[in-house]
Structure 1
Amino acid sequence: MANKYEMIAARVTGVEQVTPLIKRFTLVRQDGELLPGFTGGSHIIVQMKNADGRQHSNAYSLMSDPQATASYQIGVRLEEQSKGGSAFMHEQVEVGTELMISTPNNLFAIDQSARKHVLIAGGIGITPFLAQLYELHQDGADYELHYAFRSPEHGAFQEEISTGVHGAHSRFYIDSLGQSLNLAALLADLQSDAHVYVCGPKPLIDAVISTAKQLGVADQRVHWEQFAAAPATGGAFTVVLAKSGTELKVEEGMSILQAIEKANAAQIECLCREGVCGTCETRILEGEAEHFDQYLSDEEKVAQQTMMLCVSRARSDRLVLDL
């Protein structure tokens, strides 16, 4: 499949420690030109290279004003189980560091048909909403933000949200202070023309989706985003690369992409390894995929025509791929 992104040479002009675990990075183009325009909810892929030549690629939400494209801002949480990307950003990136970044893509856009927008954020999941808040305010939209985090020092960007124009639209829930977000009550009061957006840890996303279902909220009114690859669960299965006839066993806990790379069986481009960029989309010739990506639409997943090799797995014992 063709690469859906163009890469841009960027330079870091600002690094700010926002919470003990989150840093805000400001990026500009190395050539001094304006960066591409974007809409709230967009992400970019950031490519990083270690001194030993190893490359990491991570997707990060753009959190700056979409109207101001002289620079981009992203927020990066240092993950305990970092695959290398967040550790690199926190430990090696400083003002002046040069990075490659992709053009923006949006899988989490504000639905313009909604009359009201209810934003639910958990922890680092606040980042895509920051750009959306700019848009919603500029459009004069009806919106509210519900932002939950574990303790006061981990409430990234809380002060600038609460003291700015969004303060009257925002509520904060701090776990260590016994403040919990009651999803059932929030969604039970949802207006019939309101849409819900959630970003944050998987348990929060799952809870919003299941609560909305129980309350009869239509699926198309619930939008979610999570930048973390789904765990490679399920038993082992066989993948056949049709062009070479190569058969590979994909073990439990391993992705198809990892199995192909381990065997050096084919060259696969994958920018994000998290099921959001679409660059490893591959045609399915036989068998059925268990889709864990956020790139394909529900209709495309049901059609079983293509799959993302970085996160999705087999529903059948055997998959034949157009590779």
Structure 2
Amino acid sequence: MSARIDLVVTAVDDAVPGIRSLTLGSPDGERLASFTPGSHLVLDVPAGEGRPRPAANAYSLTGESVDPRHYAISVLRCAPASEGGTAGGGSAWVHGLAVGDRVTATPPRSAFAPVHLATRHLLVGAGIGITPLLSHLRSHVRWGREAELVYLFRDGHGAHVDELKELGGDRVTFLADRAGLAEDLAVRLADQPIGTHLYTCGPAGFMDAVVALATELGWPSSRVHLEPFGVEALDPGEPFSVRVAGDDRVLDVPAGTSLLEALEDAGHVVPNLCRQGVCGECRVDVAPGSSPVLHRDLFLDEETKGAGDCLMACVSRAVPAADGRAHLEVTL
């Protein structure tokens, strides 16, 4: 299990409808550990109020990354399953926190860091997906790097708009509709110097559109970086079966049930923390001869995913063959 840190809520900001910004500090007032821009903080979310078990949700850090006095996150309120939504309830819990409340978390870690050798950084975000990009922009301004940011949001629902204006000035472009974004990006993506890297975060459909346009204009995948929100919006996936080394049972993993949950239900103990494909705790080895793996985590790099010899049990699945069959042989 990863080390934990204790934090206390020192400020709450609900100025933007549906978005709560929290400031978290050390209970003893000490400075907190520095972090890589684009990092997230994984908060321990207790069971209760529609959450059948404790969880750990990752939220992007938006504040100063160098020797910070506090950590800052902004969280969109998503309806939990108990209210007819699809979310696990972590965001609703965050929206219920108040100044003085104590929380525990794992120290910041990054799956979306800036590439420092890039000649220029193009940041494209939508909605609450602006949060890791704000961290990027803050770092680029501090170190004098070439960077520009495009932010798409509904009128009155943009997060950190005033802060972005003050921080980025004319480096920041605000847009209010997808058509305007497509026109703007078509020009920007076609007119970037060699060595520019593209970073995007937002709803899946939005990121798909950004990546598709970049690909169409000849951007290599090595210069395009994505930060998905996590697994609350993942589709339920196709059913598959699994057998654990040393156990003769073949376990069924239905659509909508994670491999981690199936293994736990069968009595296997799998180290885990975030259950969102972020922390890397639930990594299991996959034996040769298994079906291909559908990797949906934010932890493994592309080379490791391509090898197909391991997966994150909380989010990844087996890819069915043409006959619909899919099976994994794993070692815990």
The TM-score, its normalising length taken from structure 2, stands at 0.89
How many residues of Structure 1 are paired with residues of Structure 2 in the alignment?
Answer: 315
1:247 aligned partner: 250
1:13 aligned partner: 10
Partner SS for 1:33 = coil
2:224 aligned partner: 222
1:318 aligned partner: 327
Instruction: Kindly indicate whether the alpha-carbon contact (under 8 Å) linking 1:232 and 1:254 is maintained by their aligned counterparts in 2.
Output: no
1:236 aligned partner: 239
Task: Say if 2:64 is the partner of 1:28.
Answer: no
Counterpart code for 1:321: V
Which blocks of at least 5 consecutive residues in structure 1 are unaligned? none
Instruction: Kindly indicate whether the alpha-carbon contact (under 8 Å) linking 1:232 and 1:255 is maintained by their aligned counterparts in 2.
Output: no
2:299 aligned partner: 295
1:89 aligned partner: 94
Instruction: Kindly indicate whether the alpha-carbon contact (under 8 Å) linking 2:32 and 2:67 is maintained by their aligned counterparts in 1.
Output: no
Cα separation, partners in 2 of 1:252 and 1:49, compared to 1, 3 Å = closer
Partner SS for 2:287 = strand
RMSD over aligned Cα, in angstroms? Answer: 1.9
Residue-by-residue CA offset, 1:263-314 (whole Å, 9 max, x unaligned): 2421223222221211111111241311111211111011112101111101
Show the 5 A alignment for 1:117-196: 117-150=121-154, 152-162=155-165, 164-175=166-177, 179-182=180-183, 183-196=185-198
Instruction: Kindly indicate whether the alpha-carbon contact (under 8 Å) linking 2:121 and 2:146 is maintained by their aligned counterparts in 1.
Output: yes
Instruction: Kindly indicate whether the alpha-carbon contact (under 8 Å) linking 1:232 and 1:313 is maintained by their aligned counterparts in 2.
Output: no
2:82 aligned partner: none
Task: Say if 2:43 is the partner of 1:46.
Answer: yes
Instruction: Kindly indicate whether the alpha-carbon contact (under 8 Å) linking 1:23 and 1:76 is maintained by their aligned counterparts in 2.
Output: yes
Instruction: Kindly indicate whether the alpha-carbon contact (under 8 Å) linking 1:18 and 1:157 is maintained by their aligned counterparts in 2.
Output: no
Which blocks of at least 5 consecutive residues in structure 2 are unaligned? 80-85, 321-325
Comparing 312-321 and 27-36, the one that deviates more? 27-36
Instruction: Kindly indicate whether the alpha-carbon contact (under 8 Å) linking 1:18 and 1:156 is maintained by their aligned counterparts in 2.
Output: no
> Displacement of 1:233 after TM fit?
4.5
> Displacement of 1:129 after TM fit?
1.5
Show the 5 A alignment for 1:98-113: 98-113=102-117
Distance of 1:197 and 1:189 partners within structure 2: 16
Instruction: Kindly indicate whether the alpha-carbon contact (under 8 Å) linking 1:58 and 1:271 is maintained by their aligned counterparts in 2.
Output: no
Distance of 2:11 and 2:156 partners within structure 1: 21
Counterpart code for 2:330: L
Cα separation, partners in 2 of 1:246 and 1:69, compared to 1, 3 Å = farther
